Amino acid sequence: MDQAVLGQSRVPPKITVLGNINLDFSIQVERMPERGENLVAENFELVPGGKGANQAVAAARLGAETVLIGMVGNDNYGRVLRRRLSHEAVNVKFVRSDEDAATGMAFVVVTRNGGDNRILSVLGANLNVTPDQVESAHRAFERADFLLTALGVSEVTVNRALQIAADCSLPALLDPAPLGKKPPQLWNSASVLTPNQTEASRLSGVTVQDLPSSRVAAEKLARRGISRTVITLGKDGCLLYDEDGARVIPGFRVQAVDPTGAGDAFGAALAVRLAEHATLEEAATFACAAGALACTVRGAQPSLPTREQVEELLKRTRRDKKLKITAL
């Protein structure tokens, strides 16, 4: 494994993130309610979240110079979230305040055994990030090593960002979540796509239910122009597909309490290591470790690991020296 992951001095990679910023209303429950059931929950917490903000904070904690393009409402929640992002060393120069819409909110229900969550988001101000706003952040694309984006802002805006990235020869990682009725037109211009199995099914038209069908879906996505597909498999790690074919990077065993934000930690970690010129296998191993650690703490941003924590897990499991890769 290269020097960058061994804690030696490195030039910080530059990551530009376009995405949503939310305040998460998170509650813990013994079990998910049945249809029509009125259940008493426990442990309510208000935590900073939103896929874009989570990815930006994760990238910053992993050592990247990070710029976030996004929108909050002109309200107290928005002001607090913006301040928190600055404290995390995320550059918020391109985060604007919307006069007409409230800060995005997400309602997160997590089961106490840590295995399961359900999220409903009200995107609010996030939907008012316009293609013009992205264009005015052109410098953040020119200076970056990687664009990281997901679908928590409007489709036209994600399209514009993918277009600018292509024009600047900037590699882009697209997490196709939350996947609406259709993906943005330019989704297949991303250089790395990180769907989960449900999203891989919808994007490829292949019913994904196991590793062989994940592989077929990834092959189909490759035929549509995706050069690197990384299908996330939760605790089982991820499936990689690129010109070298398909292989699986196994996950890390941890005591999971809340998976919220794990996918964002995964995407950010993958982008950070690819920007540091790691191989796809090295980057995916690092990303699986970051995602696993994010499951061990409640809430989205409070759970995002630091570089040191990820490196410690890799070392403890001896996967800093020897990668585990299963051929398919």
Catalytic residues: 264
The residues facing 320 across adjacent strands are none
The residue among 201, 295, 315 whose CA lies nearest residue 254 is 295
Q: Does 298 engage in binding with ligand RIB (CB under 6 A)?
A: no
Binding segment toward ligand RIB, per CB under 6 A, in 63-71, 193-201, 237-245, 261-269: 261-269
Please report how close the Cβ of residue 117 comes to ligand RIB at its closest, in angstroms. Answer: 9
Among 124, 171, 176, 261, contact with ligand RIB (rule: CB under 6 A): 261
Among 22, 128, 191, 197, contact with ligand RIB (rule: CB under 6 A): 22
Among 106, 217, 222, 249, contact with ligand RIB (rule: CB under 6 A): 106
| Amino acid (1-letter code) at residue 199 | E
Among 16, 91, 103, 121, contact with ligand RIB (rule: CB under 6 A): 121
Kindly write out the interface string for residues 163-202 of this chain, putting x where it contacts ligand RIB by CB under 6 A and - elsewhere: ----------------------------------------
3-class secondary structure, 236: helix
Q: Does 260 engage in binding with ligand RIB (CB under 6 A)?
A: yes
Residues 28 and 41 sit within 8 Å (Cβ to Cβ)? yes
Q: Does 49 engage in binding with ligand RIB (CB under 6 A)?
A: yes
What is the spatial distance between Cα 290 and Cα 270, in angstroms, rounded to a whole number? 9
User: Per 3-state DSSP, what percentage of the chain is helix, strand, and coil (rounded to 5)?
Assistant: 40, 25, 35
Among 13, 78, 152, 291, contact with ligand RIB (rule: CB under 6 A): 152
| Amino acid (1-letter code) at residue 32 | M
What is the spatial distance between Cα 122 and Cα 25, in angstroms, rounded to a whole number? 11
What is the spatial distance between Cα 122 and Cα 184, in angstroms, rounded to a whole number? 19
Q: Does 305 engage in binding with ligand RIB (CB under 6 A)?
A: no
Q: How many chain residues bind ligand RIB (CB under 6 A)? A: 16
